[in-house]
Structure 1
Amino acid sequence: MMEDPRAKKLYFEWEPQDDPEFAPLILGKGTIGGKGRSLLFALRKLRDSGDEELAKTKLPSSIYLSVEIFHRFLENVPGLRALLSCKEPRRVEEAFLAAPLPADARKFIEEFLAEMNDPVAIRSSSRLEDDVKHSFAGKYLTTFLCNDKGGAAERAAAVEREVKRVYSRTFFPAAEEYRERHRLGEDDMGIIIIRMAGRWRGRYYYPTIAGVGYSQNFRRWTTRIRQEDGLMRMVFGMGTMSTKRGYARTVSLSNPILRPEGFSPEKIAAIAQESFHVIDRDNPDALTTLDIKKEWRQLIKYHPDFSAYAQIYGYADGEGAFSQVMKNMSALQPGTKICFTFDEFPQKYPGFYKRMKKTLKLLEAEMGLPADMEFAYEPTEDSLCLIQSRPFWSNAQNEGGIPAVAEKQILLQADRMVTHGSIAGISKIIYVDYGRYYANRDFYGTARLIGDINGASDEPYILVAPGRIGSSNPELGVPVQYSELTHCRVMVELGIPRLGFMPELSYGTHFFSDLEVDGVLYMPVFAGEDRNIFNSEWFEGVECETCKNDAVRVYRGSFAVYMDGETNRGVIVDKNLPQSGARR
């Protein structure tokens, strides 16, 4: 989609304080920050769309503190200038927690909570988060409170504490380094206090499904789907699971039946969601991760349509296969497991995907830019909650193409999820040997070593590693932090299915947002699959620099990266190898 300058201008000029419905939800003058303003803008446009289905989209009860409240709070922090100059995050947080919020803010929060005992989220909404390009994903703070014990004053005090913690994160290294790296200057913090989407189901509170959606699919896994149709990443339970590099169901809105991993039961089961996030009454004020293997009986009780979400995977006649979860089951059979495949969801709720596509297209048209949104959904009631909406930044380049290269020069080749882009000259590859990584089990040591190599010089490099780089689960891929990859310019995720290493298109994750903003080229390579190349002979036979961890090697040479989003092909070549037989 081409940007619409007029719509973009109207989007950035819109102020919720001028809307008579939204003004009472806001305390203070000045902006309420990017997340808050964008969320209310989206709700207003959906309600005014003239489309009955879009107009019934909900926003959970919420209030907003403007940046004026932030600055008035800072006046209550003793010795602020000296405190911030010490660059000690713990001292900053302790001082902020000891300082009082302005009295009108405390009263505003208590009035909001007076008759609302459901869990709440306290979210950052800074002024700079209004920027199209810089989402600040994961750089500030969102916290959760159970909010079901004590009177309004006691519960308000707990929320105030979390507001001050969010304020302190404005001055933490993650945010300051991000602003410095992108030359953004200082920031001002607004706050959203919002009832969490979902409901109590026994001792657990969660929505049935949640996730993220995008009006444009810049990284298609097949040419059978269209960029302009968009995509979703959805999970069972709270949407926080979809912002991590874990398991989620990726859906093209061109055809919700298609899967990036294909239709093989083995591959589907290998990357299907097996745990989900909830608020637990017995463990309040933090997210709890539940295992479906332990919870499936009670889930059937609360979700009569449970077969739309989960299936049982096992072997039949020597092959992997799925079967339905039956209400009268007393236990899982040996050798089977249960997981969230969403396999029957498109047939049971086909209108959901049409509604999401329509919603995203409207937001894109009204903002004048590609849109992304976070949502929660109760399928049996067709109840859609908007959790976040903002412009969707992509660093996809307009120019693409792959020059004539000899097949012998190709070290890696991908056939999906690539955008236009190229780097004609790069002299370094950091490679994580998947076999040794898997055998050694020194997952975090491997990650820290990559960070050490990255920090030793500012030389750009290509990173090639198995599975999902940056995963919080080291069984899925190297758990390296994005801050340890500051000089990485190309990232290749190597798929080795037999060891459980599967790349994944992780739109919506904080990690992937950083890749996009910094223009890091990305491609997944599935070893052994048609139209994919992993030149293992080169990686095993070429001279390299060994490291103290033998799973990590560094190669020097003359390498080039070429990606073509139209043909969905990407290659990395060794320019020093012979070019005989070069072809496009």
Structure 2
Amino acid sequence: MNPAAGMLRIVVGLGTRAVDRPDDDYPRLVAMDYPLLRPQSCMDNIRQFSQRFMDVLNIPQNTLEPISINRYLAEKPDWNVDLYAVEDEEAARRMKQLDMEGTPSWIMTFDRLLTETDFVPLMRRLMDTLQRIYDYPVDIEFTYNQATGRPGQLNLLQCRPLQTRGFGARVQIPDSLPAEQILFQSQGGFMGGCIAQPIDRIILIDPSAYIQLSQQEKYDVARLVGKLNRQICNRDKDTTLLMGPGRWGTSTPSLGVPVRFSEISQISVLCEISYPGGNLMPELSYGSHFFQDLVEEDIFYIALFCEKPDVVLHIHLLQGRENLLRELFPDAQKYQHVVYVYDMRHQNLMLMADVLSQKLVCFFKTA
């Protein structure tokens, strides 16, 4: 894929689910040069990482309202659903086995929209024209309506220069590092350009301990992260890696740590770790407002999907090191089994990533 070709986040309904980081489903990410290419390898994954709700305006009550797409389709069968979705054959098979009757269940793929309409060529023309006029990459918001038997109608709502960091100079990733030196390693799953950065401090939220907390305690952990963030006076001299389960900044504590962006603004590297045991999964939210905040604050982002064969995570290499949380905040002793703060200034810990090879590794350098 060519990054210069651009990408889209598309949803049905209002665009709030495209620009925000929805907690209950996912937009469709579209690479403009390979529109049908997707990271999911099977229909189970496509189903899991697809849009299930859409935001609409409730006119009588003057409110924004999320509704189930399948419920809407059951009530509005005249909608041209085949253009945006495929029938969930697995759900239909289960209903048949249970001798149940019901309306079809749909999975939002957008595949026919991307292949059988003028949507993709039109978006390419629009984005190429705007970038040429601005002489700079652009970030746009738009609507597209495709009525049956009629040409699609595209409306441009917003256009602004896209804040970008660029690739930076290529980084030569060391080959064949011993396992005992690798804290984590991944093929892809990062944003922020090429990097070769020593790590001075690690703040780690232990996934197994976090999922045992009550909802209020999870909010307490988020506020504690904010306190640790405020202690960072100079990001360049105190490079901090923040690691935790699921999505940082979620509004749903069961999906990750519900920090506000101001509570991670001094972090240099933000890492989201998958933890299937608690249904906690990262989301690489390209194009969202959260992503733009990371870019503008120059925060390097990492998503570690630990169930993937090319991802290595050796948290045990941190065990046995002194947890500084009690020293920094004696009143937070209750959470010292959840929140770990490690001083790595003399440990030769290095984070390296190369965009072109899509290699990422965080490792302990030998003298």
What TM-score, normalized to structure 2?
0.82
State whether structure 2 residue 146 is matched by structure 1 residue 369: no
Change (3 A) 1:440 1:461: same
- Does residue 206 of structure 2 align to residue 433 of structure 1? yes
Which residue in the other structure is 2:80 paired with? 304
> How far off its partner does 1:438 sit?
2.3
1:548 alignment counterpart: 334
Distance change in 2, residues 1:258/1:441 (3 Å): farther
What one-letter code is carried by the residue in structure 2 that aligns with 1:537? H
1:416 counterpart = 2:169: no
1:454 maps to 2:229:
yes
1:6 paired residue number? none
State the partner residue of 1:379: 146
In structure 2, the residue matched to 1:488 is 267
Is 1:467–2:246 an aligned residue pair?
yes
Question: Are residue 518 (structure 1) and residue 297 (structure 2) matched?
Answer: yes
**CA offsets 1:523-573 (integer angstroms, 9 cap, x no match):** 211103132211133245544345532332222213221111110112222
Q: Does structure 1 conserve the Cα–Cα contact (< 8 Å) formed by 2:113 and 2:119?
A: no
1:384 and 1:485 map into 2 onto residues whose CA distance is: 37
Q: CA 1:279 to 1:376, structure 2 compared with 1: closer, same or farther past 3 Å?
A: same
Residues 446-488 of structure 1: CA deviation (Å, up to 9, x unaligned): 2212112212343441011222211233333222111001220
SS at match of 2:165: coil
Question: Contact 1:561–1:573 (CA<8 Å) still a contact in 2?
Answer: yes
Alignment of 1:142-541 (within 5 A): 225-246=1-22, 247-260=26-39, 262-284=40-62, 286-301=63-78, 303-306=79-82, 308-309=84-85, 311-312=87-88, 314=90, 330-331=102-103, 338-349=106-117, 351-380=118-147, 381=150, 382-404=152-174, 406-408=177-179, 409-418=181-190, 419-442=192-215, 443-458=218-233, 459-497=238-276, 499-540=278-319
Partner Cα separation in structure 1 for residue 163 and residue 9 of structure 2:
17
Asked if the contact 1:495/1:502 (under 8 Å) is kept, the reply is yes
For residues 457 and 245 of structure 1, the distance between their equivalents in structure 2, rounded to whole angstroms, comes to 26
CA distance in 2, matches of 1:338, 1:535: 39
1:567 equivalent in alignment to 2:346: no
State the secondary structure of the residue aligned to 2:199: strand
Compute the displacement of 1:496 (Å).
3.3
* 1:266 counterpart SS class: helix
Cα distance in 2, alignment partners of residues 494 and 523 from structure 1: 8
Q: 1:435 to 1:266 in 2, by over 3 A?
A: farther
> What amino acid sits opposite 1:330 in the alignment?
G
Quote how far apart the aligned CAs of 1:311 are: 4.1
Count of residue correspondences: 336
CA distance in 1, matches of 2:171, 2:81: 46
Unaligned runs of 5+ residues in structure 2 are: 326-332
Determine the structure 1 residue equivalent to 2:329: none
Report the Cα distance in structure 2 between the residues aligned to 1:398 and 1:231, rounded to whole angstroms: 20
How many Å separate the matches in 2 of 1:521 and 1:313? 40
Residue by residue over 1:138-177, the C-alpha shift from the partner in whole angstroms, topping out at 9 and shown as x without a partner, is: xxxxxxxxxxxxxxxxxxxxxxxxxxxxxxxxxxxxxxxx
- Structure 1 residues 385 and 264, CA, compared in 2 at 3 Å: closer, same or farther? same
Question: Could you tell me which residue of structure 2 aligns to residue 157 of structure 1?
Answer: none
Aligned counterparts of 1:366 and 1:399: Cα–Cα separation in 2: 28
> Contact 1:300–1:306 at 8 Å: present in 2 too?
no
TM-aligned CA distance change 1:316 to 1:561, over 3 Å: farther
Q: What amino acid is the match of 1:488?
A: I
Aligned to 2:330: none
Whichever residue aligns with residue 266 of structure 1, its letter is: D
Structure 1 residues 561 and 313 mapped into 2: Cα distance closer, same or farther (>3 Å)? Answer: farther
Distance (Å, rounded) in 2 between the aligned partners of 1:530 and 1:513:
29
Q: Please show how residues 133-148 of structure 1 align to structure 2 within 5 Å.
A: none
**Residue 120 of structure 1 aligns with which residue?**
none
AA paired with 1:569?
Answer: K
Indicate conservation of the 8 Å contact 2:265/2:297, yes or no. no
Larger radius of gyration: 1
Counterpart residue type for residue 554 of structure 1 = V
> Normalized per residue, which structure has more helix?
1
User: What residue identity is the alignment partner of 1:295?
Assistant: Y
Relative to structure 1, is the Cα distance of residues 551 and 354 closer, same or farther in structure 2, using a 3 angstrom cutoff?
Answer: farther
Identity over the aligned pairs, expressed in percent?
A: 27
- Using a 3 Å threshold, how does the CA distance of structure 1 residues 526 and 561 change in structure 2: closer, same or farther? same
> Aligned partners of 1:496 and 1:315: how far apart in 2?
26
Cα distance change, pair 338–268 in 1 and its aligned pair in 2 (3 A) = same
Residues 236 and 309, structure 1, Cα contact 8 Å, conserved in 2: no
Deviation at 1:498, TM superposition (A): 5.3
2: distance between equivalents of 1:316 and 1:527?
Answer: 31
Name the TM-score, length of structure 1 as normaliser. Answer: 0.53
- Which stretch shows the higher mean deviation, 415-424 or 362-371? 415-424
Offset of residue 234 of structure 1: 0.7
Q: Distance in 2 between matches of 1:338 and 1:545?
A: 50
RMSD of aligned residue pairs (Cα, Å) = 2.7
1:189 is matched with: none
Confirm or deny: 8 A CA contact 1:431 1:554 kept in the other structure: yes
> Cα gap change, 1:308/1:430 in structure 2, threshold over 3 Å: closer, same or farther?
same
Deviations 1:67-88, CA, capped at 9 Å, x for gaps: xxxxxxxxxxxxxxxxxxxxxx
| Runs of 4+ in structure 1 over 4 Å off | 313-317, 539-543
The answer to whether the Cα contact below 8 Å between 1:433 and 1:551 also exists between their aligned partners in 2 is yes
Shift of 1:515: 1.0
Cα–Cα, structure 1 residues 486 and 565, in superposed 2: closer, same or farther, change >3 Å? same
TM-aligned CA distance change 1:470 to 1:420, over 3 Å: same
